[in-house]
Copies of this chain bind each other. A is one copy, B any other.
Amino acid sequence: MANRPTLKTIADRVGVTVSAVSLALRDDPRISRATRERIQQAAETLGYVYNRHAAGLRRGDSGTVAVCLNDLSNPFFTEFLGHMEARFREADRMMLFCHAHETPSIQARFIRQMAEHGAAGLILVPVAGTTREDLDGPQVRHLRDFPLVLISRDVDDTGFDRVINDDEMGIRLLFDHLYAAGHRRFAWLGGGGDTSTARDRERSFRQRMDAAGLPVTTETIHHGPTSLAFGDAMLERLLALPTPPTAIVCFSDIIAFGVLAACYRHGLRPGIDISVTGFDDMGAAAYSAPALTSVRVRTDLIGQRASELLLARMAGERHPPVREVVPPELVVRNTTGPPAHGGLVQR
């Protein structure tokens, strides 16, 4: 920063005023072609660096966009990040980034700080347990009328734009696929904490069970963190049951990978001895051993759509908050198949 050239430096050198330089550097047609080129030339040779603080102060907006995610260790979220980053780069917006670690205080602080920086918009995967108050309460009143798009997870009644996956549909696709293959003994390995995603997927699972006339007991539903370790540990527990499930429906690919790892140790062949499904269809799902049956969440579409919505709001577009639900796709690979020896009979 130490004495970098400013508009004035250039102006003096070329023999015009700062106004002229300011306009010229932004290609304003009011400045003649000739002077404009001399000015731009001078800026180049002097190594001029635009000062966004000065501009932002005057204009009241820094042109940055803020993005707050929760779990970088989950490739599912980094896929979002990649898609949005690409779109914002295209729009020439810088990205302020935060990793909230499912911690409300970090999220709250980031919201304050991005406001301080004059960020023009925010994309947020709300931390588990986020309520309407957290996003719209007095302590963050600067979010009122602020361009904000929630992705992946929903928060009821926020009055903000949201782009989320159709979780109900995803579970339905998986369940029906397994049911059609003949499975009747299911287990649900839930993750995702206190999020709409966790709730919607589990609710959908329970609905399908009900609809199929299957009982949901304490042996059916299990909760834990979205981690490989949880999936791994749960398979052990499920195998220890008197009548283990023939199909394990996991909240996410990550958990399913953990289950596969435990299967391998036990010499169980997923897709033959037991069926396992993931959710998200992250890149690695095609390469697990065996390749994982999952549901593809369209992170690309969601990320792109969220970016578009945000850019539109930032451009001043006014309309009631939208809630866009993106349908996922069933991807059948090799971890699912008919139940082994009498899964049907034992029902």
Residues of A within 8 A of B (CB): 1-2, 4, 47, 49-54, 56-57, 60-62, 64, 67, 72-73, 75, 78-79, 81-82, 85-86, 89, 94-99, 106, 112-118, 138, 141-142, 228, 232, 257-258, 260-261, 263-264, 283-284, 286-291
Say yes or no: A118-B51 contact (C-beta < 8 A), given A228-B284, A284-B228, A287-B261.
yes
Q: Which of B61, B62, B138, B257 contacts A47 (CB 8 A)?
A: B138
* 23 A-B pairs whose Cβ atoms sit less than 8 Å apart in the complex: A2-B60, A47-B141, A47-B142, A49-B112, A51-B57, A51-B116, A53-B54, A57-B57, A64-B117, A67-B97, A72-B79, A73-B79, A73-B82, A78-B78, A81-B99, A85-B98, A94-B96, A96-B96, A228-B286, A228-B287, A261-B286, A261-B287, A284-B284
Q: Measured between alpha carbons, how far is A70 from B125 in the docked complex, in Å? A: 23
Q: Measured between alpha carbons, how far is A112 from B43 in the docked complex, in Å? A: 14
Give the chain B neighbours of A94 by CB distance below 8 A: 96, 113-114, 117
Q: Which of B4, B97, B291 contacts A96 (CB 8 A)?
A: B97
Tell me if B72 and A73 are in contact (CB < 8 A): no
Top 7 nearest A-B pairs by Cβ distance?
A97-B97, A264-B289, A53-B56, A261-B287, A53-B57, A228-B287, A289-B289
Q: Measured between alpha carbons, how far is A118 from B117 in the docked complex, in Å? A: 12
Among A62, A138, A263, A290, the most chain B Cβ lie within 10 Å of the Cβ of: A62
Q: How many copies does the complex hold?
A: 2
Give the chain B neighbours of A51 by CB distance below 8 A: 57, 116, 118
Q: Measured between alpha carbons, how far is A260 from B261 in the docked complex, in Å? A: 13
Say yes or no: A53-B96 contact (C-beta < 8 A), given A72-B82, A75-B73, A78-B72.
no
Give the chain B neighbours of A73 by CB distance below 8 A: 75, 78-79, 82, 283
Other than A47-B141, A62-B117, give 18 A-B pairs with Cβ distance below 8 A. Answer: A1-B61, A47-B138, A49-B112, A51-B118, A53-B57, A72-B78, A73-B79, A78-B78, A81-B99, A94-B96, A228-B283, A228-B287, A257-B284, A260-B287, A261-B286, A261-B287, A261-B288, A264-B290
Cβ distance A69 to chain B, nearest Cβ, rounded Å: 10
Tell me if A50 and B116 are in contact (CB < 8 A): yes
Q: Measured between alpha carbons, how far is A263 from B141 in the docked complex, in Å? A: 56
Q: Measured between alpha carbons, how far is A57 from B54 in the docked complex, in Å? A: 6
Q: Measured between alpha carbons, how far is A94 from B118 in the docked complex, in Å? A: 13
Give the chain B neighbours of A86 by CB distance below 8 A: 99
Cβ distance A254 to chain B, nearest Cβ, rounded Å: 9
Q: Measured between alpha carbons, how far is A176 from B148 in the docked complex, in Å? A: 54
Give the chain B neighbours of A288 by CB distance below 8 A: 261, 288-289
Q: Which of B1, B50, B106, B260 contacts A89 (CB 8 A)?
A: B106
Cβ distance A134 to chain B, nearest Cβ, rounded Å: 16
In the complex formed, the residue of B with least CB distance to A4 is B142
Give the chain B neighbours of A112 by CB distance below 8 A: 49
